[in-house]
Amino acid sequence: MREWSSMSFRSALLVAGFALAALNLRPAIAGLSPLLDEIMDDVGLTPAGGGAITTVMVVCLGVFGPLTPVLARRVGLDRTLLAGLLVIAAGLALRGLDGAPVLYLGSALAATAIAVMNVSMPGIVKQHFPDRINLMTGVYVSCVVAGAAAASALVVPIEHTTGYGWRGVSALLAVPALLAALLWLPQALRGRPGGQNGPRPFGAVLRSRVTWYVTALMGLQSLTFYVMLAWLPTIYLEAGLAADQAGYLLSLTNLVQVGTSLAVPVLAGRRASQVPYVMGAGVLTVLGYLGVLLAPTTVPWLWMIVLGIGQGASFALALLIIALRPADPAEVTALSAVAQSVGYVIAALGPLLFGFLRQMSGSWTVPLVVGLGVVGVQLVAGWFAGRPGTLIRSAP
């Protein structure tokens, strides 16, 4: 009985640490957008410069993701995840200091850690939960979007309550990362120092056409997501809503993604083909973009719900496909590194491009129309990525 209780406690601690780590994968980014106008005024940034903060972070998500397989082979996935949590906390504390260079540097440091953790998480699912990939992918993704929803909803109220300003609130976001690191520490200490010592799977991954379908899906759905994460509050501010209302709308669309991202992997993973789910998610994203474009202040909550379902499902499906297709954790990590690294480089163009288009055109019409075109291409990529029978090594 005592041994069974000990095993149950370890399992509960593993799941809790995994979930809390996932909660820290978006607040560093999502917590910026409700404060973006204040940050731009304080630091003296243009709209393009404000969008560049998110762009820098998303570029780091792409550029530094390939570090993960190297770290996993040397110290193991569990210790790699612990290191990522500690670096996130350091980056958040740093960017709260004075000056634009420190703002960008701290953001880049936090995003580098997020990049490593992003790539690690599907491999951790495959390693620790091989018989529950669908469920734990849903738990992981729902925690990611819950963290984004909480950050976007709470940063403005916390700022008003504490009087710390955007710098102090940004630094406070480091606290959950430190708590997650403390909870994950026992798992990291038990983990093997070299968790992925088999043959390097990058050659097979890079030769597979499936890899590039998944990469396109990951990148394009991320681009449309980060555009809204960076600029949605500003769009609503310019449409006449108050700052707290704009922040709540962003929080709503992220909150809707929590339930969607938990349910969709469980349902989609039961089928050989994920194509119907990928197509449905893309169509809902189109409808959400159309609502923001054509009638932003008319039932805005409805557009946020539709957009949240579409974007949450798209993100969850991309990560589910990454976890399902390869045969082992090393292959999952390799595919995750390629898809997320290249994908986030694609996504990094979004916030900067939208800020530039807004600055040049004087309205949000042109940027949102471009966003609709991107979702159209996402639908094509999703059709190919979601088809059955596409294991990495069996692909031509």
Residue-wise pLDDT for 293-318, tens only, equals: 998 888 989 999 999 999 999 999 99
Q: What is the 3-state secondary structure (H, E, C) of the chain?
A: CHHHHHHHHHHHHHHHHHHHHHHCCCHHHHCCHHHHHHHHHHHCCCHHHHHHHHHHHHHHHHHCCCHHHHHHHHHCHHHHHHHHHHHHHHHHHHHCCCCHHHHHHHHHHHHHHHHHHHHHHHHHHHHHCCCCHHHHHHHHHHHHHHHHHHHHHHHHHHHHHHCCHHHHHHHHCHHHHHHHHHHHHHHHHHCCCCCCCCCCCHHHHHHCHHHHHHHHHHHHHHHHHHHHHHHHHHHHHHCCCCHHHHHHHHHHHHHHHHHHHHHHHHHHCCCCCCHHHHHHHHHHHHHHHHHHHHCCCCCHHHHHHHHHHHHHHHHHHHHHHHHHCCCCHHHHHHHHHHHHHHHHHHHHHHHHHHHHHHHHHCCCHHHHHHHHHHHHHHHHHHHHHCCCCCCHHHCC
- Positive or negative, the CA dihedral 339, 285, 51, 112 is negative
pLDDT given for residue 305 in this prediction: 94
Average pLDDT over the chain reads: 84
pLDDT given for residue 394 in this prediction: 43
Determine the Cα–Cα distance for residues 182 and 340; give it in Å rounded to an integer: 27
How is residue 44 written in tokens?
């003296």
Reported as a pLDDT band with limits 50, 70 and 90, residue 116 is very high
Determine the Cα–Cα distance for residues 111 and 65; give it in Å rounded to an integer: 10
pLDDT given for residue 326 in this prediction: 67
Q: Which of 11-15, 101-105, 380-384 has the highest mean pLDDT?
A: 380-384
How is residue 351 written in tokens?
């916030």
| Higher-confidence position of 322 and 251 | 322
How is residue 1 written in tokens?
């009985």
Reported as a pLDDT band with limits 50, 70 and 90, residue 7 is low
pLDDT given for residue 3 in this prediction: 42
- Across 49-60, average pLDDT: 79
- Across 309-331, average pLDDT: 84
Reported as a pLDDT band with limits 50, 70 and 90, residue 231 is confident
Residues in CB range of 55: below 8 A, 6 or more apart: 348, 349, 350, 351, 352
Q: Is the pLDDT of residue 78 over 60?
A: yes
- Render pLDDT for 270-293 as a digit per residue (tens, 0 to 9): 787 889 999 999 999 999 999 999
Determine the Cα–Cα distance for residues 216 and 227; give it in Å rounded to an integer: 16
Q: Residue 188 carries which side chain, given as an amino acid letter?
A: A
pLDDT given for residue 80 in this prediction: 92
pLDDT given for residue 252 in this prediction: 85
- Render pLDDT for 8-30 as a digit per residue (tens, 0 to 9): 777 888 888 999 999 999 898 88
Do residues 27 and 143 make contact, with C-beta atoms less than 8 angstroms apart? no
pLDDT given for residue 396 in this prediction: 40
pLDDT given for residue 277 in this prediction: 94
Q: Is the pLDDT of residue 257 over 70?
A: yes
Q: Residue 196's closest CA among 88, 259, 108, 124?
A: 124
pLDDT given for residue 243 in this prediction: 77
pLDDT given for residue 308 in this prediction: 92
Q: Which of 60-64, 117-121, 254-258, 342-346 has the highest mean pLDDT?
A: 117-121
Determine the Cα–Cα distance for residues 180 and 30; give it in Å rounded to an integer: 18
CA 186 to chain centre: 25
Question: Poorest-confidence range of 15-29, 162-176, 279-293, 367-381?
Answer: 162-176
Task: Kindly report whether the global pTM for this prediction surpasses the value 0.85.
Answer: no
Reported as a pLDDT band with limits 50, 70 and 90, residue 86 is very high
Q: Is the pLDDT of residue 395 over 60?
A: no
